[in-house]
Structure 1
Amino acid sequence: MDRITRVGVDLAKNVMQVHAVDSAERVVVRKAISRERFVSWFANLEPCLIAMEACSAAHYWARKLHALGHEVRLIPPQFVAPYRKGGALVKNDALDAEAICEAASRPHMRFVPVKSPAQQSVLVLHRMRTGFVEERTALANRLRGLLAEFGVFLPQGTRQLHQHFIDRVEDGSNELTGPARQALMRGWAQWQALDEEIAWFDRQIAEHANRDPQAQRCMDVCGVGRLTASAAVVTVVDARQFKNGRQMAAWLGIVPKQKSSGGKQRLGSITRQGNDYLRTLLFLGARSAIRTAHRRDDRLSRWIVQLQARVGYYKTLVAVANKHARILWAVLAKGERFDRSYAPARTGGAAGA
């Protein structure tokens, strides 16, 4: 058997598909391996390059294979799809493994840094919190809709619902019956329990942000709180993987779509690609920064106020989120603190021009 130099692995719950080639790009191995035999099979190989899609359990397997001496690279799934024979119409595990192996050979392919168990543990906090927030939102909408069936209408907003729910349910002048009141009160108890769970996760995330030096530097930016700073640190892992701040903004999906051809540039709405959770947090932080910009006198806040007066709220919102992404890249990649009064040096023109 020729020496294997590169392996593409299509991960799954129970059976992994392997596609291995030698230095001449000849196929050496094409087979399926059970999960129980997966690590032992690679333990018998000489160190080589192993590529996998960045999917569920990918970081775990990457750490295991790296401990065996292999070089492991994780590829975003959207970068693998163009290399699959048959395109979107033909798909199976063997073709996926072959496409992963081929994509890993490209000299300008982009890879995902492997996360440590500690980093993934913080992400567990964020994902569990997000799930509970979604459950609470769904429960609030359900309670509001059920009350409306009996002619009980509450003002919009979670705070209003929280303030008036008990009074409306206990009001004897409406059409609510005993069983309905009991059911709604059980829903209210569930809502209270979700509030407690979310508060616990908020405390854990705040603790991580307060003790992590990188997260502390991120929080110097107005509009970047503990939640965003913590998520940015553990999601990006290594900001130096991006050449500049615009690449990180593009990875987060807050740069315009391009349909340019023939030297004519056509820009559309933002791409919304990449990590939607971190992008959402950046937009929420941008809203806060815009809302309070008029109270501050630093250079960034003055820019926000002037931009909003010129292009309106929503374009400013996208611009501020993009600006925050670029600032976070500089803070994380260079290890420096954010300077509110920083002004880049201008070159290429006379001072009085």
Structure 2
Amino acid sequence: MNEVTLIGIDLGKHVFHLHAQDAKGHEVFRKRLSRLQLLPFFSNLKAVTVVMEACAGSHWLARKLNQMGHVAKLVSPQYVRPFVKSNKNDYIDAEAICEAACRPTMRFVEPRTEAQQLLAALHRTREGLVTERTATINRIHGILLEFGIVIPLAKAMLRRLPEVLAVHDLPPRLTRIIERLYEHYRYLDQQVTDIERDLTTQLREDENAARLLSIPGIGMITASLLAAEVGSVAQFAGGRNFAASIGLVPRQHSTGGHSTLCGISKRGDRHLRYLLVQCAHAVMHRATQRTDRLGEWIRSMLTRRHPNVVACAVANKLARIAWAVLTKHTAYDASRLKFAD
């Protein structure tokens, strides 16, 4: 039997399909393993390169395989799709992963550490709770509006909701419904506060946090998400590559020697891109008070472009600054910024 050098895994919840190749790209074997069989199989196998798509569970599995002495690599699913031959099944998917990994110019995803995955889990939980809290607030306002009661959306007014209900003649059953929703809102608000406290604790233990927090407009939430999502900055050749991975660069559709640039590509992490754009708006809001080169550049851009376009440009700039700060292990320095004419 030829010696195995590369194994592609088509990941599943309960079943995994393996496609093994030798150094010349010839198939050596195909296997179907359960989750309980997977790790024991690789523990008894000579060290090889193992490739899989970057998806749920792939980062955990990559860490386990690296601990066994194998070389685990993750490929973005969009780069695997063109190598799927003819009809699709799990074995063909595993073979396509091997084909994609053999390309000399293929780009791989850096496996996340356990700490980075923990931060990402906290952020996903917080985002879901914030969405639930907003929905609960809107539900309270919608029900009260049906009975002719309009209250402001401010949190301070929501805290006084029991007092508002006391001065209006509402059916007792409706009052109980509103009280239930109010208690649910308070519970969600407390959960969000607790998670933000956990994020603050995590940031205090992260040496990159202080560097990221020194960047204009970037606060605790964005800094912690950057620390979780960026991973090893060595996987990006430059700041533009990092900004492109978040989807903050123009999408290109050029042909025949004519360059056509569209809007931003909106690839990558949607939540991180949203936070960076919000950070950009915060910086733009105080642009008139800034005397550094960043403030001058923003004011100059606002005279020529729509504010939303400028916000995307500033978000792109913040992403590049974050990459530079993490790469050079230094705090933000406004004097070292470079801007295109």
TM-score, scaled relative to structure 2: 0.94
Q: Which residue of 2 aligns with 1:40?
A: 40
Name structure 2 gaps, 5 residues minimum.
none
> After TM superposition, what 4+ stretches of structure 1 lie above 6 angstroms from structure 2?
none
Matched, 1:249 2:246: no
Amino acid at match of 1:219: L
**Deviations 1:82-138 (CA, angstroms, capped at 9, x unpaired):** 11124xxx4332222111111111111111111121221222221211111111112
Q: Which residue of 2 aligns with 1:274?
A: 268
* Matching residue within 129, 133, 156 for 1:132: 129
Cα distance between partner residues in 2 of 1:102 and 1:224? 40
Q: Which residue of 1 aligns with 2:323?
A: 329
Q: Which residue of 2 aligns with 1:122?
A: 119
Amino acid at match of 1:148: L
Amino acid at match of 1:262: G
Cα distance between partner residues in 2 of 1:160 and 1:313? 31
Q: Which residue of 1 aligns with 2:139?
A: 142
Cα distance between partner residues in 1 of 2:9 and 2:154? 46
Name structure 1 gaps, 5 residues minimum.
347-353
Amino acid at match of 1:93: D
Cα distance between partner residues in 1 of 2:131 and 2:331? 34
RMSD, aligned CA = 1.8
Q: Which residue of 1 aligns with 2:296?
A: 302
Is the partner of 2:2 in helix, strand or coil?
Answer: coil
How many angstroms does 1:8 deviate by? 0.6
* Matching residue within 257, 260, 264 for 2:254: 260
Structure 2 counterparts to residues 16-165 of structure 1, below 5 A: 16-86=16-86, 90-155=87-152, 157-159=153-155, 162=158, 165=161
Q: Which residue of 2 aligns with 1:183?
A: 177
Structure 2 counterparts to residues 341-352 of structure 1, below 5 A: 341-344=335-338
Cα distance between partner residues in 2 of 1:21 and 1:207? 46
Instruction: Say if 2:209 and 2:227, in contact at 8 Å, map to a contact too.
Output: yes
Amino acid at match of 2:30: R
Is the partner of 2:268 in helix, strand or coil?
Answer: coil
Cα distance between partner residues in 1 of 2:203 and 2:296? 28
Bigger shift: 99-108 or 304-313? 304-313
Is the partner of 1:223 in helix, strand or coil?
Answer: coil
Q: Which residue of 2 aligns with 1:350?
A: none
Cα distance between partner residues in 2 of 1:160 and 1:253? 37
**How many residues end up aligned between the 2 structures?**
340
Is the partner of 2:8 in helix, strand or coil?
Answer: strand
Instruction: Say if 1:239 and 1:329, in contact at 8 Å, map to a contact too.
Output: yes
From the superposition, tell whether residues 265 and 167 of structure 1 become closer, same or farther in structure 2 (CA, over 3 Å). farther
**Deviations 1:30-83 (CA, angstroms, capped at 9, x unpaired):** 221000000111122211110011111111111111111110001111111111
Is the partner of 1:320 in helix, strand or coil?
Answer: helix
Amino acid at match of 1:201: I
Amino acid at match of 1:37: Q
Instruction: Say if 1:154 and 1:160, in contact at 8 Å, map to a contact too.
Output: no
Matched, 1:171 2:167: yes
Q: Which residue of 2 aligns with 1:195?
A: 189
Q: Which residue of 2 aligns with 1:351?
A: none
Is the partner of 2:108 in helix, strand or coil?
Answer: coil
* Fraction of identical pairs, as percent: 39
Cα distance between partner residues in 2 of 1:54 and 1:345? 34
Amino acid at match of 1:24: K
Cα distance between partner residues in 1 of 2:2 and 2:154? 64
Instruction: Say if 1:66 and 1:72, in contact at 8 Å, map to a contact too.
Output: yes
Instruction: Say if 2:4 and 2:23, in contact at 8 Å, map to a contact too.
Output: yes
How many angstroms does 1:151 deviate by? 2.7
Cα distance between partner residues in 2 of 1:278 and 1:242? 17
